Structure 1
Amino acid sequence: MSRSRINGNFIDKTFSIVANILLRIIPTTSGEKEAFTYYRDGAI
């Protein structure tokens, strides 16, 4: 496995973890949470 692929996977996993934490911390409506979830799933 190439180094760039390993780094890419690390960045993807880190983004996913941070996004999940932000989704729980930031006060949002259910519609905003759903939109953010779609964005997060598309970005990963």
Structure 2
Amino acid sequence: MPRSRINGNFIDKTSSIVANILLQIIPTTSGEIRAFTYYKDGAI
């Protein structure tokens, strides 16, 4: 997780870890990865 922090309770940590794994598995462009990271930072 380059810029995001994993904070919060067990559910928050688990969902962040699952999202990172899916982001590595699903073919995405670098722009989509950056957009998702910004979105995740805002959600935290």
Q: Same fold (TM over 0.5)?
A: yes
What's the TM-score once normalised by structure 2's chain length? 0.69
Larger Rg, first or second structure (1 or 2): 1
Query: Where does residue 17 of structure 1 map in the other structure?
Result: 17
Deviation of 1:21 (Å): 0.3
CA deviations on 1:16-43 (whole Å, 9 max, x unpaired) are 1011101101101100010011112222
Percent identity over the alignment is 86
Computed over aligned residues only, the root mean square deviation of the Cα atoms, in angstroms, reads 1.4
| Divergent runs of 4+, >6 A | none
Q: Which one has the bigger helix percentage?
A: 1
Unaligned runs of 5+ in 2: 1-7
Aligned residues: 37
